[in-house]
């Protein structure tokens, strides 16, 4: 990978920034009544609007690049779902993007590839659905994969401050280019990027790990057993989405474990690609629970891997040893 991918970086950063603006507008409209009714329509609308914006930008700049994304427009094309499509159009118009229903569906469908290519993008328009609905952490995640390696990763985290000690405002974009380090920018202001690095924690007793808020996404019981074996006593940081990769990459946490909840589940590439590179380029290490590197050569799934472990690298072997002793299946 001798190219610098500056154009790809510029397009990716602007795309996730613009998509975050749409997501924020939708999230602000979520009321307690919506939560009480467990109404998922806001995240559905934001998902589609975010994917439309990002795929539009990628199609314009790189028309030959396939995109493996989370959504497709097949349901939106059904007459009964026309109100959803209308709402997607309305939210896009709020950020100055006037488009026909056919244009919106076309852009969304640009992200419905599923097969591996030598060069492709992978996109999660809203990573952290439940975090989005509860007005917690979520991310807009975009990565460029070339020859099976993540070359570029961009994570927009609209509710995460630029640094761990920042009070306000919330909103950060984390990004990495292979061989060029990991960086963070404020989401809402023009500023030079700051380089980020993982922690230097080398003793497991002093470590802190992060995990999903929802136990359905990762086995909290197994995490607790691993923490006990490693004599980790600090409370885990629990937050939704690939924001977890960001807090490891900037040294706020030392370990992130995404542990399988059943023997057959395989992770989706769009849930990890951007975050993996950001941790690796900040000096960390990412593997599956057995220590294998993650393989982005099998289409939309990490089918050759089980779970994910990200760390500051210094603690990685300790975590893998504890997992080997506790992990079954």
The catalytic residue positions are: 47, 129
DSSP letters spanning 137-167: --EEEEEEEETTEEEEEEEEETTS-SSTT--
The secondary element (H helix, E strand) that includes residue 280 is: helix 273-281
Collapsing DSSP to helix, strand or coil, 184 comes out as: strand
Burial of 242 (0-12, 13-18, 19+ CB in 10 A): buried
Please give the backbone phi and psi of residue 122, each rounded to the nearest 5 degrees, phi first: -130, 140
The CA distance from 104 to 315, in Å, is: 45
The 8-class DSSP code of residue 268 comes to: B
| Cα 22 to chain centroid, rounded | 17
Can you spell out the DSSP letters for 54-93?
Answer: HHHHHHHH-TT--EEES--STTTTSGGGHHHHHHHHHHHH
Q: Which residues contact 90 (CB under 8 A, 6 or more apart)?
A: none
Residue 95: burial class (beta carbons within 10 Å; 0-12, 13-18, 19+):
middle
Q: What is the spatial distance between Cα 240 and Cα 225, in angstroms, rounded to a whole number?
A: 21
- What is the DSSP code string of 91-123? HHHHTT----HHHHHHHHHTTB--S--SEEEEE
CA distances from 33 to 47, 86, 110, 136, 240 (A): 20, 22, 34, 17, 22
Cis (ω within 30 of 0) for the bond into 107? no
The contacts of residue 292 (CB under 8 Å, 6+ apart) are 304, 305
What length is written for the chain? 329
């Amino acid at each position: 990978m001798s190219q610098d991918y500056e154009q790809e970086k510029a397009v990716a950063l602007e795309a996730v920034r613009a998509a975050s603006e749409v997501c924020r507008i939708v999230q602000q409209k979520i009321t307690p009544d919506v939560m009480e009714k467990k109404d998922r329509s806001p995240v559905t609308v934001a998902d589609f609007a975010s994917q439309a914006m990002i795929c539009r930008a990628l199609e314009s700049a790189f028309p030959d690049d396939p995109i493996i994304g989370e959504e497709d427009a097949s349901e939106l094309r059904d007459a009964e779902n026309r109100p959803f499509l209308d709402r997607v159009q309305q939210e896009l118009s709020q950020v100055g993007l006037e488009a026909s229903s056919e244009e919106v569906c076309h852009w969304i469908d640009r992200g419905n590839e599923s097969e591996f290519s030598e060069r492709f993008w992978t996109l999660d328009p809203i990573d952290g659905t439940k975090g989005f609905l509860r007005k917690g952490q979520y991310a807009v995640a975009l990565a460029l994969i070339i020859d099976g390696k993540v070359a570029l990763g961009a994570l927009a985290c609209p509710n995460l401050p630029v640094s761990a000690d920042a009070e306000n405002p919330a909103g950060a974009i984390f990004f990495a280019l292979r061989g060029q380090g990991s960086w963070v920018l404020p989401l809402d202001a023009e500023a030079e990027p700051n380089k980020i690095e993982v922690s230097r924690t080398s003793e497991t007793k002093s470590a802190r790990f992060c995990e999903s808020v929802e136990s359905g996404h990762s086995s909290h019981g197994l995490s607790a057993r691993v923490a006990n074996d490693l004599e980790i006593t600090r409370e885990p940081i629990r937050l939704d989405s690939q924001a977890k990769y960001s807090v490891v990459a900037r040294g706020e946490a030392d370990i992130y474990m995404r542990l399988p909840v059943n023997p057959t589940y395989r992770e989706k590439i769009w849930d990890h690609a951007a975050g993996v590179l950001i941790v690796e380029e900040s000096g960390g290490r990412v593997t599956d629970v057995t220590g294998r590197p993650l393989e982005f050569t099998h289409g939309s799934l990490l089918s050759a891997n089980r779970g994910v472990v990200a760390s500051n690298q210094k603690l990685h072997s300790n975590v893998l040893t504890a997992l080997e002793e506790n992990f079954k299946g």
